[in-house]
Amino acid sequence: MASTNDLKNGMVLKLDGGQLWSVVEFQHVKPGKGPAFVRTKLKNVLSGKVVDKTFNAGVKVDTATIDRRDMQFSYMDGEYFVFMDMETYDQLHVDKKAVGDAANFLIEGFTASVARHEGEVLYVELPAAVELTIQHTDPGVQGDRSTGGTKPATLETGHEIQVPLFVTTGEKVKVDTRTSDYLGRVSG
């Protein structure tokens, strides 16, 4: 339990019958008339839905403990992604739903942050950018500007992104894991 006066960004609250909400931003408001209150922007941990919620100042709220650990992706086991805890070497089978879009950028050996609450995996979070190899892309045709100077390319994970015309098959590129945007070539 915590008070609304103790809210911090990133804190996870248990509201509305056990749903988990992460505090995105908060603001203590003390109007000239009437009692103080706390205006918050909350993000549902599972669905990603963002809502605005106002609390009276000093009200008790239920907090949830989220265990975030860096784990290494080992391999696929049917429908499950298998991660290994780097400290205990325990293996954790994570459902595709919990991995979400991170699956587009996961290759063996990548480290990801796995968030759990009471033993249940909530989500898997990758770094903002990863380096992957282009598995296939057609040669760029000089003068082809109908696509804004980009062409489709398939990453080694099988995910397709848009890259500039000069990028070739076999090159290592940096990709934004949140938007699938090409960020640049990786030298060496």
For residue 61, what are the β-bridge partners?
2
| Residue-wise pLDDT tens digits, 126-136 | 888 999 999 99
For residue 29, give the amino acid letter: V
Rg of the chain, C-alpha, whole Å = 21
| Portion of the chain with pLDDT greater than 90, in percent | 35
CATH number of the CATH domain containing 44? 2.30.30.30
Q: What's the confidence (pLDDT) of residue 2?
A: 83
Q: What's the confidence (pLDDT) of residue 139?
A: 85
Domain stop point among 103, 125, 147: 125
Residues 15 and 43 in one domain: yes
Q: Which domain holds residue 43?
A: 2-61
Domain stop point among 10, 35, 61: 61
Residues 77 and 120 in one domain: yes
Torsion angle of the four alpha carbons 33, 29, 11, 47, in this order, in degrees rounded to the nearest 10: 90
Residues 120 and 151 in one domain: no
| Residue-wise pLDDT tens digits, 167-188 | 889 999 999 988 899 999 888 6
Return the closest-CA partner of residue 134 out of 150, 149, 154.
Answer: 154
Residues 146 and 107 in one domain: no
Residues 45 and 73 in one domain: no
CATH number of the CATH domain containing 111? 2.40.50.140
Number of separate domains in the chain: 3
Residues 82 and 50 in one domain: no
Domain stop point among 78, 97, 125: 125
Residues 88 and 134 in one domain: no
pTM beyond cutoff 0.75: no
Q: Span 85-91, mean pLDDT?
A: 89
Three-class SS state of 105: helix
- What are 101's two structure tokens? 């879009």
